[in-house]
Structures are given as C-alpha cells and as structure tokens.
Amino acid sequence: MWKRFRTNIGAMIGVGILLAVILIALCAPLIYPHGPWQMVQRPFLPPMSVDGLPLGTDTLGRNVAAQLAYGAQVSLLVGLVSTIVALLIGVPLGAVAGFYGNWVDEGAMRFTEFFQTIPNFALAIVLVAIFEPSLASITLAIAIVSWPPVARLVRAEVMSVRKREFVDAARLAGLSRPKILMTQVLPNTVSPIIVMASLMVATAILLESSLSFLGLGDPNAMSWGYMIGAARTVIRTSWWLSFFPGIAIVLTVLALNLIGEGLNDALNPHLSRKGRA
Amino acid sequence: MTQPALSIENLSIGLPEGADRDFAVQNLSFAIEKGKILCVVGESGSGKSMTANALMGLLPPGVTVKGGKAVFEGQDVLTLPETEKQAMRGERMAMIFQEPMTALNPLMRIGDQIAEVFAAHNRLTAPERRKRALALIQEVGLPDPEKIIRAYPFQLSGGQRQRAMIAMALALEPKLLIADEPTTALDVTTQAQILKLILDLREQHGMAVMFITHDFGVVAEIADQVIVMQEGKMVESGAAQEVLVTPKHPYTQRLLDAIPTGKLPAARALGTVPALEIKSLRKTYRTGGGLFKPVREVHAVDNVSLSVARGEVLGLVGESGSGKSTLGRTAVRLVTPDSGQVLVGGVDIAALSEEELRKERHKVQMVFQDPYASLNPRQKIISAITGGPITRGIPRDKAEARARELLEVVGLGADAANRYPHEFSGGQRQRIGIARALAMDPELIVADEAVSALDVSIQAQVLDLLRDLRSRLDLSILFITHDLRVAAQLCDRIAVMQKGKLVEIGTVHEIFQSPKQAYTRQLLAAVPGADWQRDAVATA
C-alpha cells in the first residue's frame, strides 16, 4: 500500500507541502519568539522592503510572516482535532446503525438527517455565536457540522461488509455481536474512513478560515481566515495582507486533497484511475 | 474438408508486467469448421476466456495481442480497425457470457435489448425489429413471448435470461457464436435445456460455435472438437470422442480423473445415534407487500424433517431456489426458522435465545461456499481459527497449538498460521475454512456448496480431504450441493429438495439406481455427460 502511495507523484507533493506547513507551525515560537501580535515596524510595509520582514507588515505594523506561521498552528490544530471529534461521533453512530439495522438504523439516520437538513456553514455560525468564539468552541462547531457524511459512509460500508460470509463464520464461532462489529466488520471499513478523514481536515481548515473571516474566530488566536478578514478593507492598497494567507490556505487544502486522493488510489487499487499501473 | 469458419494461428496474448506469467495465451492454433462445435476446456487461469475476448476485441486494458493471426471470413480479426470490429461484433461474430444477469442491462426491457442489436447495425425499421425480437424470443424457447418482450431482466430466471442473451446473439445470424461458460451459473436441468438449445440452433443456422467450459460433462454432451488448455498453452486437441476416451496428454488425463464419476463408493454401515434431527421445519420469506400489493411469500423450507446420524454424510441436493441453503443455514441457526425443531445432540437450537445460543454455537459449524468471502481479509489465519475456541474459554496457547495441528490435518502445514488469507489460493482457503470448523469440535458440519467454486482438480482434492476426515474423525456432515456427481462421491445418503419440500431421501445407491420420484430421475438425467460416463464405466 505504501509502495503504491509513494509512486503517486501528486500525493508525494501533497505530503511535502503538508510537512513543510507542519514544520513551520511547530517552529513558529522559535523563529518568532515574540508572537504574532507584537508591532515590529511601521504599518503597511510591502514585502521585501525592509530586512527581516520578507512578507511586510499589516495595518498595525505586525509581522505578516509571523502571523502566517502562528496561523498555521491554529489551522492545523482545528482541522485535525475537529476531524477526530467528527470521526468519534460519526464512526460509532454509522457503525451501529449499519450493523444492527432496523429501528436502530432508522433512529440513527433520522438523527443524522436532522443535522444534514441545516446548511453546514449556517449551523457552524450559529453554534459559534451561541458559545462565544474560542478555539474549543470553533473546533466543536466544525466537528458537529461535519460528522453526518462520516456516519453515512461508515453505515454503508458496514452494511456491505456485514453480509460477507466471514461475518457469518464469526457468528458461528460464538462471538458476540459487538465483538463481531469491532473485530470483524470495522477493520474492513478503515480504508474509506482514512481517505474521507484526510479530505475532512481540508474542509475543516476552510470552515475555520471562513468563520474567522467573518470575525467569529478566537480573538486570542491568530489565524489565516482572520488575517484575510482584517485585510479585506485595504485589499486595493495592501494586496499582500490577504494574498499570503490566501495562498497558505490554498496550498494546505490542496496538499490534503492530494494526499486524500493518493490514499484513495493506494487503498482501493481496483478503483484507481487507469494507466497508472 | 470445407474452409474453416475461423482459424487461429500462433495466437499469443501478453499479460501486463507483474502478472504471474508473461503470456495469457501462447502459440495457440486451432480451427473451427462451419456448423461444428469446438469446446475449449481448461481450469481457471488457463487463458480460455482471454482467447475469446481477443477474438471479440474485448481484451481488458494492459492485455495485448502479441502475435499470431485469427482468420475469420478471409480477414485477420486481430488487426481490424476498431470501426470494422464494431461492425463485425454482433453481426458475424456474437458472444454469450457466463452471468446473464450482469450481461444484460438491468434497466432495459428484453425486447428493447434485442431490438437494440438491429438498431446498432442499422437494420430494419422499428416495427420490424419488434417483430424479429418476438420471433427470436420464440425461437429460443422462452414462454409467453408477448410478456417476455416487455419484461426486465430481473423478472426472468437465470435460464430465461441466458435464453434472452442467446436470442440477442442470434439476432443477426452470426457465422460464429462464442459461448463463454454459458451454463456454469445455471442449474443442471436448465443447463441441459440450454445445451440442447445451442445444439438445435447450430443445426438450424449452421453456425460455428466456440464453447468455453471447464466441465468435461458438458464437453461430452455437445462437442465435436475439443482443445484442452493449461496455463495458456494448448496441451491436447482432437475429436471429442478421442480426447474423452483416449486422452494422450497427462494433464487431460488428470482432469478427466478428477471429474467426480457416477461410480458409487461402497456403502458404509451407518450409526444410529442422530447428530442432527430436523423436525417439521418451516421457513417462509415474505417480501413486498404494501397497501395495495399482496405480500409475496416464498416457502423456502416447507415442513422438512430429516436426520443425520453420527458419522454420516448426508447430501442435500437441489436446484437453486430449492431451499437447501436455507435449510443448511437454519441448521446452524444463521437463519431462525418459523416453526419446527433443529435438534443437535438433543438441544433444540432453533428455540434458544441469542445468549444461550452463543454457548451452543460450537456444536454445529459451517464451511462456506465462497472461499474468498468467508475469511476476513484483515485477520491472520491463526486468529480466524482460534477466535471461536478462545471465545469458548479455551486458553489462547492451547487453542493456537490446536489450530496449528488442524492446519496440518487439512494439509496446509503449521506455518500457514501467521499468514493472511490473500496469500492462499481458493482450494487452500477452503481447507482453512474446514480447519476453522473443526477447531470448534462440532457435532455436525454443514458444508454449503463447499466445493462448487473450485476447479475440478482442486475440487477432487478437497473432496479427498473431506472423505479422509470423515473416516479419521468420524465426522457428521450435512453436505449441500447442486451437483449430484459430487454428492455421489462423498455422501452416505442423499436428500433431494425441490421448492422447499423434501422430495426423496435414501442411500446413494437407492437414489442413483432406483430413484422413486420423477423429479429425482429428471435431475439424474440432466447431469451433463451422463451417457458418456456410463460408456466410460462400461469400457473401463
């Protein structure tokens, strides 16, 4: 599987970009020990105009490069944690619904549909507005709006796996139903879940950026969305303030999508596109 | 000798890199004369289907023709440009497939699908197409053509679908019909009808038929010429009689020897203690049914009573839909019956609660049909086998030691334990399935079509293993199969089921030599190559 993944050039580029972003996020406190909020120079310095400020300064004279690095921390953290939380809600719910069927399935799916009927982003805004904006509430809000597709995917996978003969064999071996679900069925649904998770991290980063852009971000955390939101009034005079965080979002999301696609091809070789034998 | 309808010279088909061999087919040469049936015989992976696909231009991506010629009506079909191939397909060369359900478009009415063949070749007007479709449906012996023409594939039975496929193939009166295992997915009686249909049509249309099969019984029924393929090479060819009676190549001889013969083993003395007793068992499936629709009821098992004595192998024979699998699954309580008793060692497992049942599960075990679906691909062999015993409370090291021992018993060797299922072939997986069943020390093993998915030679090996285990371990087996020849080899008694009812039950000798019921006689007569086997036994 790893071998197939490695031969996928797109996926390897994705891994490269993502590793770079992670490295920058981890090293942010070392490179910019004063944090992203400190004013270091005159405001509105264009990129490369002053030594040590390769990306210029913002409306308050803060270092854009430092903001980007710290923003990477927030984006990655929110993306990762919210995806994990979404998986923690979606996987058990979908698995139980698919495995037990009948009224369990009905109940779980109606519950899921309840969340699916409300537009994702609107729900996220409402949730963040109710709990006041903080990293934890944003993460939770994103998780709450993004688990329904997980539940549906897991349910469908479980439903197809549980009809296989080895599940019958496990029943004959006297294994209890929960144990069959855990040891026989779920391990066979892992690959699509992994693929979906990698794409969900990307969506979560976008969602977080959008929330911050609207001013619903954590006021104590620097994030890419917040940077773009703050810079939108001066976009015609100081393009770099919205351009660099925008590029950062595009690259990170692209990287995650490339990885997701690569994982998909590697884990489901029979579904992968032809000609990459 | 007339000019052959198709002649193939030195055909080689290359497989993509990384395949288990370089060529799917190597240096194959043969010819089919007009109005003759040529059977291409071989086990799975012998390249017989690839040959057919190459002729039709249907090779999968990565697989290419590496050399040779296939002359059909004066042209080399392998080098024709795609547009000409397209014109040729259906019109002069047609093909029918193994699985008629997947070969037909599920969303299109049968009549439209046949008419589409004419439309694709710009023949006739719409009303004429419909008329021809009706005539074709009639010709292939489908009942009630007016109704069939409006039916969707899922409304037809397997045999009817195959007839519809044949009607499509015949639409433009092709000179060559390629049939790729067209009867493998069908019941014996249906198979016999389809074979007869192909023979009749050959007679009327004078077309050449290339018939791909793995079953020498079918060969004996219809072939004029036979070629035997092994790993992409032709190992023997000749007139059907010659190949069947005096095979020259050792591989052909091996294949012929592996065929379950109608020869009956000597009867064994049977015990009287029952391992399994089934008493007036019923299971009805209800489907559909809404406000205005009546519920459709299928009596899968209808008041069946039978018993399997300790140490006995009872064969349960029937066609698809006869309820034999449902009966097997109720015996292990994968299906809960509506009424009746399933007594295993005196306990009625049909009446137990889920919790009690789990403690009794080990008493009846099952060997499944599909060796690829019955093992969890993400679980090592050892945990597949020890899962049950450990749940029963046997200590892990003891269970593992026993599992290794059982792997030896089924002929795999203890080192198979730490590998994953994908490293094994179909026959080996079936052995693992048997070891898994044995690990529970069951009173009874239900083998549901356990050898049906295997090649004949592998089938023979697994049957040998079961026979060996039967005598060594004094096993009781409920052996479910659609193949009477297989049942004859292993079973002490045979029960025949039809439409959920038990038609006849008796010792193998009674069933084969003096069947009492008409249906049993019908089944026996439908076994392909029945006459040939009688000859073979007589001459031997």
Q: Got the DSSP string for B66-110?
A: EEEEEEETTEETTSS-HHHHHHHBTTTEEEE-S-HHHHS-TTS-H
- Average pLDDT for residues B294-298, to the nearest whole number? 75
Question: Which among B16, B379, B392 is the nearest to A174, CB-wise?
Answer: B392
Tell me the C-alpha to C-alpha distance, in Å, between residue B131 and each of B113, B118, B138. Answer: 13, 11, 11
**Nearest residue to B444 (alpha-carbon basis) of B343, B341, B363:** B363
B365 CA to chain A: closest CA distance, Å?
Answer: 6
Render pLDDT for A85-110 as a digit per residue (tens, 0 to 9). 999 999 999 999 999 988 899 999 99
User: pLDDT grade, residue B446 (50/70/90)?
Assistant: very high
| Residue found by looking up tokens 């996928």 in the block | A8
Side-by-side strand order, sheet with B295-309: B295-309, B274-288, B339-344, B347-348
Looking at residue A148, what is its pLDDT? 93
How much is the pLDDT for A275? 40
Beta-carbon separation of B388 and A172 below 8 A: yes
**Between residues A35 and B289, the one the model is more confident about:** A35
Cβ–Cβ < 8 Å for A68, A240? no
Q: Is B373 on the interface with A (CB under 8 A)?
A: yes
Provide the pLDDT confidence category of residue A270 given band limits of 50, 70 and 90. Answer: low
Phi, then psi, of B341 in degrees rounded to 5 = -120, 145
pLDDT tier, A147 (very low <50, low <70, confident <90, very high otherwise): very high
Which residue of chain A is at minimal alpha-carbon distance from B362?
A173
pLDDT of the residue at A89: 93
Sign of CA dihedral B420, B423, B427, B428: negative
Q: Is the pLDDT of residue A20 over 90?
A: yes
Q: Reply yes or no on whether the pLDDT at B533 is more than 60.
A: no
User: How many angstroms from the chain centroid is the CA of residue B181?
Assistant: 10
pTM metric for this prediction:
0.80
A189 touches chain B (CB under 8 A): no
Report the percentage of chain A scoring pLDDT > 70: 96
Residues 6+ apart with CB under 8 A from B204: none
Q: For residue B51, what pLDDT is reported?
A: 87
Q: Which residue has the tokens 């997915």?
A: B185
Q: Using a CB–CB cutoff of 8 Å, tell me whether B526 touches chain A.
A: no
Name the one residue in this structure whose structure tokens are 């005079």. Answer: A237
Q: How far is CA A215 from CA A125, A138, A218, A227, in A?
A: 10, 12, 8, 10
Mutate which: A4, A163, A166, vs B, most B CBs within 10 A? A166
pLDDT at A122 over 80: yes
What is residue B537's predicted lDDT score, i.e. its pLDDT? 44
* Range B458-485 average pLDDT: 86
Question: What 8-state DSSP symbol labels residue A232?
Answer: G
- Which pLDDT band, with edges at 50, 70 and 90, does A16 fall under? very high
Report d(CA A58, CA B179) in Å as an integer.
75
CA distance A22 to A16: 10
Contacts of B62 in chain A (CB under 8 A): 277
Predicted ipTM beyond 0.95: no
Q: Which of B16, B334, B436 sits opposite A171 (nearest CB)?
A: B334
Question: Which residue ranges form the domains of chain B, and what is each CATH number?
Answer: 1-92+176-258 (3.40.50.300), 102-173 (no CATH), 300-526 (3.40.50.300)
* Token code pair at residue B322: 């006869």
The pLDDT of residue B535 is 47
Q: What is the pLDDT of residue A85?
A: 95
Across the range B443-447, mean pLDDT stands at: 90
Residue B185 pLDDT > 80: no
The predicted model gives A65-90 an average pLDDT of 91
Amino acid identity at B72: F
Which residue is listed with tokens 């990384």? B18
Q: Per-residue confidence at A150, pLDDT binned at 50, 70, 90?
A: very high
A204-243, pLDDT tens digit by residue? 988 988 898 888 888 888 888 888 888 888 888 888 888 9
- Which tens digit of pLDDT belongs to each residue from B85-140? 888 888 888 888 888 778 888 888 988 898 888 888 888 888 888 888 898 888 88
- Say yes or no to pLDDT of B312 above 70: yes
Q: pLDDT at residue B424 above 70?
A: yes
Helix/strand/coil percent split, chain A, to 5: 75, 0, 25
Annotate B342-400 with three-state secondary structure.
Answer: EEECCEECCCCCHHHHHHHHHHEEEECCCCCCCCCCCCCHHHHHHHHHHHHCCCHHHHH
pLDDT of B291: 64
- With contacts defined as CB-CB under 8 Å, which chain B residues touch A168? 334, 366, 368, 374
B434 contacts in chain A (CB < 8 Å)? none
Lowest mean pLDDT among A132-146, A162-176, A256-270, B329-343: A256-270
| DSSP SS3 for B467 | helix
Chain B residues closer than 8 Å to A179 by CB? 391
By the CB < 8 Å criterion, does B358 face chain A? yes
Subunit contact B391:A173, Cβ cutoff 8 A: yes
The count of other CB atoms within 10 Å of the CB of residue B90 is: 20
* Residue A82's pLDDT band (cuts 50, 70, 90): very high
CB-based contact (8 Å) between A1 and chain B? no
Contact A165, B373 (CB under 8 A): yes
pLDDT at B534: 46
> Which residues in chain B have their CB less than 8 angstroms from residue A277's CB?
16-18, 62
**Residue B430 pLDDT more than 70?**
yes
Name residues whose C-beta falls within 8 Å of residue B24's C-beta, 6 or more positions apart in sequence.
B13, B14, B15, B47, B50, B63, B232
DSSP strand pairing (B23-32 vs B6-14): antiparallel
Say if residues B478 and B444 touch (Cβ distance below 8 Å).
Answer: yes
Interface residue B393 vs chain A (CB under 8 A): no
Contact A175 B388 (CB under 8 A): yes
pLDDT attached to residue A155: 94
Is A164's CB within 8 Å of B373's CB?
yes
Average pLDDT, chain B: 84
Residues 6+ apart with CB under 8 A from B282: B299, B301, B302, B303, B304, B337, B338, B339, B340
The per-residue pLDDT for range B379-421, each reduced to its tens digit, is 889 988 998 899 888 899 999 999 998 998 888 888 888 888 8
Which chain B residues touch A171 with a CB distance below 8 Å?
334, 361
SS3 label, residue B446: strand
CA separation for the pair A149, B451 (Å, rounded): 41
Mean pLDDT over the full length of chain A? 87
Contact between B218 and B182 under an 8 Å Cβ cutoff? The reply is no
Q: Inter-chain contact A165–B334, Cβ cutoff 8 Å? A: no
Residue B180 to residue B159: CA distance in whole angstroms: 15
Nearest to B370 among A165, A171, A175 (CB): A165
* A276: pLDDT strictly greater than 60: no
Residues 332-351 of B with CB under 8 A from A: 332, 334
pLDDT for the residue numbered B387:
87
Which of A165, A176, A183 is nearest residue B374 as measured by Cβ atoms? A165
Give yes or no for residue A152 having a pLDDT over 90. yes
3-state secondary structure at position B266: coil
One-letter amino acid of B422: H
- Chain A residue with the nearest C-alpha to that of B356: A174
Tell me how crowded residue A236 is: count the other CB atoms within 10 A of its CB: 6
Interface test with B, best of A161, A165, A179, A185 (most B CBs within 10 A): A165
> What is the average per-residue pLDDT within B328-355?
87
CB contact (8 A) between residue B368 and residue A169: yes
Nearest to B365 among A172, A183, A275 (CB): A172
**Which domains, from first to last, does chain A contain?**
13-28+64-267 (1.10.3720.10)
CA distance A67 to A25: 11
CB contact B442 to A (< 8 Å): no
Q: How far apart are CA A27 and CA A20, in angstroms?
A: 10
Name the β-bridge partners of B303: none
pLDDT at B294 exceeding the cut of 80: no
Which pLDDT band, with edges at 50, 70 and 90, does A15 fall under? very high
The C-alpha of B449 sits at a distance from chain A's nearest C-alpha, in angstroms, of 13
pLDDT of residue B47: 83
Compute the 3-state secondary structure of chain B and give helix, strand, coil in percent, each to the nearest 5.
Answer: 40, 25, 35
Q: Which residues of A touch B381 (CB under 8 A)?
A: none
> What does the alpha-carbon distance between residue B466 and residue A99 come to, in Å, rounded to a whole number?
34
Contact state of B374 with A170 under an 8 Å Cβ cutoff: no
Model confidence at A143, pLDDT cuts 50, 70, 90, reads very high
Question: What pLDDT, on a 0 to 100 scale, did the predictor assign at position A274?
Answer: 42
User: Which A residues in the span 137-166 are in contact with B, Cβ-Cβ below 8 Å?
Assistant: 164-166
Q: Which residues are registered as beta bridge partners of B225?
A: B38, B239
- In the predicted model, what is the mean pLDDT of residues A269-276? 48
Nearest residue of chain B to residue A186 (CA atoms) = B378
> What percent of chain B has a predicted confidence (pLDDT) above 90?
8
Give mean pLDDT, residues B462-472.
86
pLDDT score at A271: 52
Alpha carbon B281 to chain centroid, angstroms:
28
Does any CB of chain B come closer than 8 Å to the CB of residue A187? yes
